[in-house]
């Protein structure tokens, strides 16, 4: 369960940015989580609850957008959805596949007043 330490990083970034932008209350946070990160959305939600006593996050809703795992073949440059974590190009069968998406873990945006 490393979601708590991830969430501590997330709320730190939010506190800092909110102070810079003179925002007192955050209403919504949009977090992007790739399917090949080991962060579980439910556990992130639970971790976020722990910060609800803070005025900044009191009414904040955490929304999580999942990014599917996609690969790009380094040989034929075919871009494809990776199923069952099998990194093999369906076009040319090459195993030389780079992860094109699915490793994201970032705050896309937040809203507040």
Residues in contact with another protein by the rule CB under 8 A: 1-2, 5-6, 9-10, 12-13, 17-18, 21, 23, 27, 31, 36-39, 84-88, 95-96, 99, 105-113
Q: Which residues contact 40 (CB under 8 A, 6 or more apart)?
A: 3
Query: Measured from the CB of residue 21, what is the shortest distance to another protein in angstroms?
Result: 6
User: For residues 113 and 25, is the Cβ–Cβ distance under 8 A?
Assistant: yes
Q: How far is the CB of 106 from another protein (least distance, A)?
A: 5
Of 46 and 88, CB closest to another protein? 88
CB neighbours of 4 closer than 8 A, spacing ≥ 6? 47, 50
């Amino acid at each position: 369960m490393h979601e708590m330490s991830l969430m501590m990083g997330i709320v730190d970034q939010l506190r800092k940015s909110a102070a810079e932008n003179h925002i007192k209350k955050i209403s919504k946070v949009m977090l992007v989580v790739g399917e090949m990160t080991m962060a579980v959305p439910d556990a992130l939600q639970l971790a976020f609850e722990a910060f609800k006593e803070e005025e900044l996050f009191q009414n904040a809703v955490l929304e999580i957008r999942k990014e599917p795992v996609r690969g790009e073949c380094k040989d034929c440059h075919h871009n494809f959805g990776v199923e069952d974590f099998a990194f093999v190009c369906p076009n040319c069968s090459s195993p030389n596949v780079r992860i094109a998406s699915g490793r994201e873990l970032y705050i896309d945006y937040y809203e507040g007043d």
